[in-house]
Amino acid sequence: MYAIVKTGGKQFKAAKDDVLIIEKLEGEPGTPIEFSEVLLLVDGDKSTIGSPFIKGASVSGEIVRQSKSKKIEAFNYKPKKNERKRWGHRQPQTHVRILEVKVGG
């Protein structure tokens, strides 16, 4: 059984014991997390599609760790103007282990 959940403006496939790397959520490692915005549930051959979400369905998990993603580097350059700018960015992210996919009543 797996579910498609929406979090951080993105959609993720979540099955039991998966580890998802998502946009940063507040909390320490071990903190329980509940995703209630379930878009799709698949259980064997049976699938349920929400409009937009499935009522009563949820996915529970716990925070494994907080980290930052790989560094993205960028560079601006304008010839003949002596203008050069280099910068980087590391997006904060949360690793979540999925514990259970709950089907609503």
Tell me what the mean pLDDT of segment 16-20 comes to.
Answer: 95
pTM, to two decimals = 0.84
With CA atoms as reference, report the closest residue to 31 among 66, 4, 68, 56: 66
> How far, in Å, CA of 30 to CA of 44, rounded?
30
Mean pLDDT score across all residues of the chain: 94
Instruction: Answer whether 88's CB lies under 8 Å from 73's CB.
Output: yes
Tell me the pLDDT tens digit for each residue of 23-62.
999 999 999 999 999 999 999 899 999 888 999 999 999 9
Confidence of residue 104 (pLDDT cuts 50, 70, 90): confident
DSSP-derived 3-state class of residue 86: strand
* CB of 95 closer than 8 Å to CB of 62: no
In the chain, what are the domain boundaries?
2-67+93-102
